[in-house]
Amino acid sequence: MDPAERAAALHRVGDVLAARRAELIEVAGSEAGKTIDQSDPEVSEAIDFCHHYAESSLLLHDSEHMVGARFAPVDVTVVASPWNFPLAIPTGGVAAALAAGSAVILKPAPPARRCAAELVRTFHDAGIPEDLVVLAPLEDGDVSRHLVTHKDVDRVVLTGSYDTARLFRSWKPDMHLLGETSGKNAIIVTPSADPDIAVRDAVYSAFAHAGQKCSASSLLVLVSSASTSERIARQLVDATASLRVRLPLSLDSQMGPVVVPDDEKAVRGLTTLGSGEHWVLKPRYLGDGLWTPGIRAGVVPGSEFHLTEYFAPVIGIMRVDTLQEAIEAVNAVDYGLTSGLQTLDATELAIWLEGVQAGNLYVNRGITGAIVRRQPFGGWKRSAIGSTTKAGGPSYLLGLGEVEPARGKDKGEPGGPGDQGISALDPRVASLCDAVSGQLGAADLAELRRAMVADASAWRAGYGANRDVTGLACERNILRYRAVDVVVRAGQGTALADLVRVMAAGVRAGGFISLSVADRLPQPLQNALLAAGVQVAVEDQGAWDARLAELSASGGLGTRVRVIGPREQTSAARWSHASRVTGGSPDIALYTGAVTACPHSELLPFLREQAVAITNHRFGTPLDLAEGLL
């Protein structure tokens, strides 16, 4: 299929899913315990994924978007999907891989196999050839292991727990794994919050789908007088205790079953208190996997409940004195998926927006239910594995193939498009180019300038701006990019132009960069890098490998490493060497792709995506709490 046919076929899949909404809701309810209010939006999300990735796929083949690069698809992608979103997540993974030009094997979680079979049938009925999407309804055992580690599988898209990601990488350290993983998410309520709204949002975020969402809130952090408010306490208990807990067959059910009833962690969360904790509402087992929702109070920083994802209908209350303490408690968790704030105070909002570490932020609303494109979804730290970008966002497809240089003969010529805008470059970036301009050939110099101009334009249009692509009046939905610290390694024989191109992207992004080079740098470049705040070390391969191994052992979560080398060396060779050195640590994201002028593939290693959704009204009256902040 060519790109246009593929996009059209994916749009058709979206349409067929829409026509089958009722059947899909039935299967998700009967097989995977989803109540109708939960599976209905899931079908919508699945449909949205198809249309969104169909459109995104066209950009991969647009030379203005991919400046100086071409997107090379891989042959085979395995999508290992979870049971808790048995419709949207497998559809999203399969649609994305197809959009990126790969064939797909869908390996669903065993409790959601029938849902997956319905989805695969839908892809085929919409005209996707049967050998492009194949169902592998396997148990989690040797055959699954054989599949995900198979040498002919180029990418594994795992949506599941962090432990599963670590297990997969322990089997195959150089697995190209794009992991969307666990969360332990909190809502902070300050004394400036509206108590009614705070309670409504906390209860829905904690107990919808019986707490079995990676986005669910299982911690409520009450600040200062919010922690002694009788009104908040009473409403929280009332709203939780009155939830209707029934199997999805009952159409009025608000909370369905715990889908894996013998899950040891879930049962512990529902039954076992930590030191100093007590039940405000003790969960009761009703049979058929149904548990009444639980509230425990007295959760203290550093305790098991504070730090563990239980995936069950239970929320813990933590009391703190200040917003700063609350943010520290939220950030102390290894994960960073969703996070919520309830406040009507703009100063508090500013402090929280600056300090909280999570991929999806929500203000004065629930913290679940991200909508494709409006709230691209994905976390920080141990909530995301590999060089993955947000699902349903503008850049997700890039990780599902390789980005290679496309140096055409009409490209990179002096006086060509690369010279436009060169005078308007960030001075730190321009100084890098000036430092080496005398040492580069004409083609390399022109390509470097083209890259820098493309970065600047992409920065203005997206990466450096707070984008709200849906533009709703009632809700601000901003996708912003936060600079992240990165270690860059330029192996022996790296072309000077390539090194400067990568550093230009990094300097533009603005985070701290530690650069390891095998070959000593020309002094003017060294000076320009130091002036831009880059730390430079000259290290032979052995010293670099030792540093990389230490980085992976030191437990920094979500550490980013960009590795480049001579042009004749493949990305695969760099990937396989670096993954061996790190032992496949899921806590390190390696970027080993070829160096190109493309701003998207070069800027993204230096940036973390963050989606911020803020309720922008109060009872229908516009209220822009984030005015001047975002």
Ligand X SMILES: N[C@@H](CCC=O)C(=O)O
Strands 155-159 and 177-180: parallel
If binding is defined by CB under 6 A, does position 92 make contact with ligand X?
Answer: no
Residue, CB closest to ligand NAD:
160
Strands 588-591 and 535-538: unpaired
Q: How far is the CB of 359 from ligand X (least distance, A)?
A: 10
| Amino acid in the structure at residue 514 | S
If binding is defined by CB under 6 A, does position 35 make contact with ligand X?
Answer: no
Which span sits near ligand X by CB under 6 A: 208-216, 301-309, 447-455, 581-589? Answer: 208-216
Q: How far is the CB of 265 from ligand NAD (least distance, A)?
A: 9
Select the binding partner of residue 161 from ligand X, ligand NAD, none (C-beta < 5 to 8 A, by kind).
ligand NAD
Going from the C-alpha of 568 to that of each of 386, 401, 408, 489, 571, the distances in angstroms are 24, 19, 17, 16, 10
- Backbone region of residue 372 per phi and psi (left: phi > 0; alpha: psi in -120 to 50; beta: other values): beta
Select the binding partner of residue 483 from ligand X, ligand NAD, none (C-beta < 5 to 8 A, by kind).
none
Task: Out of 155, 172, 184, 213, name the contact with ligand X by CB under 6 A.
Answer: 213
If binding is defined by CB under 6 A, does position 258 make contact with ligand X?
Answer: no
Specify the long-range contacts of residues 409-416, CB closer than 8 Å, at least 24 apart. Answer: 411/68, 411/447, 411/450, 412/68, 412/443, 412/444, 412/446, 412/447, 412/450, 413/442, 413/443, 413/446, 414/442, 414/445, 414/446, 415/446, 416/446, 416/450
If binding is defined by CB under 6 A, does position 389 make contact with ligand X?
Answer: no
Going from the C-alpha of 569 to that of each of 407, 545, 588, the distances in angstroms are 17, 17, 22
Assess contact for 339 and 330: CB atoms under 8 A: yes
Q: How far is the CB of 89 from ligand NAD (least distance, A)?
A: 6
Q: Which is nearer to ligand X, 215 or 387 (CB)?
A: 215
Select the binding partner of residue 357 from ligand X, ligand NAD, none (C-beta < 5 to 8 A, by kind).
none
Select the binding partner of residue 311 from ligand NAD, ligand X, none (C-beta < 5 to 8 A, by kind).
ligand NAD
The helix or strand, by DSSP H or E, that contains position 279, with its residue range, turns out to be strand 278-281
Q: Which is nearer to ligand NAD, 309 or 498 (CB)?
A: 309
Q: Which is nearer to ligand X, 256 or 298 (CB)?
A: 256
Which residue is catalytic, options 50, 214, 433, 598? 214
Select the binding partner of residue 368 from ligand NAD, ligand X, none (C-beta < 5 to 8 A, by kind).
ligand X
If binding is defined by CB under 6 A, does position 85 make contact with ligand X?
Answer: yes
Q: Which is nearer to ligand NAD, 108 or 418 (CB)?
A: 108
115 as an active site residue: the answer is: no
Q: Which is nearer to ligand X, 92 or 593 (CB)?
A: 92
Say how far apart CA 173 and CA 177 lie, in whole Å.
10
Q: Which is nearer to ligand NAD, 180 or 277 (CB)?
A: 180
Tokens of 481: 């990019």
- Cβ-Cβ contacts under 8 Å for 52 (sequence gap 6 or more): 372, 373, 392
Select the binding partner of residue 370 from ligand X, ligand NAD, none (C-beta < 5 to 8 A, by kind).
ligand X
If binding is defined by CB under 6 A, does position 109 make contact with ligand X?
Answer: no
| Nearest alpha-carbon partner for 31 in 106, 108, 94 | 108
If binding is defined by CB under 6 A, does position 243 make contact with ligand X?
Answer: no
Say how far apart CA 145 and CA 138 lie, in whole Å.
10
Helices first, then strands: H and E counts in the chain: 20, 28
Q: How far is the CB of 125 from ligand NAD (least distance, A)?
A: 23
Task: Out of 123, 377, 459, 575, name the contact with ligand X by CB under 6 A.
Answer: 377
Q: Which is nearer to ligand X, 214 or 445 (CB)?
A: 214
If binding is defined by CB under 6 A, does position 380 make contact with ligand X?
Answer: no
Say how far apart CA 617 and CA 148 lie, in whole Å.
47
Q: How far is the CB of 316 from ligand NAD (least distance, A)?
A: 17
Task: Out of 96, 156, 370, 490, name the contact with ligand X by CB under 6 A.
Answer: 370
Which span sits near ligand X by CB under 6 A: 185-193, 241-249, 367-375, 598-606? Answer: 367-375
Main-chain phi, psi angles of 465, to 5 degrees? -115, 160
User: Residues in the site for ligand NAD, rule: CB under 6 A?
Assistant: 80-85, 89, 107-110, 140, 144-145, 158-161, 164, 167, 180-183, 214, 309, 311, 337, 379, 383
Q: Is the dihedral of CA 354, 360, 365, 371 positive or negative?
A: positive
Which residue is catalytic, options 180, 309, 348, 475? 180
If binding is defined by CB under 6 A, does position 214 make contact with ligand X?
Answer: yes
Q: How far is the CB of 377 from ligand X (least distance, A)?
A: 5
| Nearest alpha-carbon partner for 623 in 277, 344, 274 | 344
Q: Which is nearer to ligand X, 138 or 370 (CB)?
A: 370
Q: Which is nearer to ligand NAD, 110 or 511 (CB)?
A: 110
Report the residue count for the chain. Answer: 630
Q: How far is the CB of 303 from ligand X (least distance, A)?
A: 24
404 as an active site residue: the answer is: no
3-state secondary structure 179-233: EECCCCEEEEECCCCCHHHHHHHHHHHHHHHHHCCCCCEEEEEEEHHHHCCHHHH
Q: Is the dihedral of CA 232, 238, 241, 244 positive or negative?
A: negative
Say how far apart CA 21 and CA 27 lie, in whole Å.
10
CA 592 to chain CA centroid, nearest Å: 19
Say how far apart CA 270 and CA 282 lie, in whole Å.
8
User: 318 to 347, contacts with ligand X by CB under 6 A?
Assistant: none
Select the binding partner of residue 83 from ligand NAD, ligand X, none (C-beta < 5 to 8 A, by kind).
ligand NAD
Task: Out of 38, 84, 122, 596, name the contact with ligand X by CB under 6 A.
Answer: 84
Q: How far is the CB of 319 from ligand NAD (least distance, A)?
A: 26
Say how far apart CA 597 and CA 501 lie, in whole Å.
7
Select the binding partner of residue 579 from ligand NAD, ligand X, none (C-beta < 5 to 8 A, by kind).
none
Catalytic residues: 180, 214
Footprint of ligand X (CB under 6 A)? 84-85, 213-215, 368-370, 377
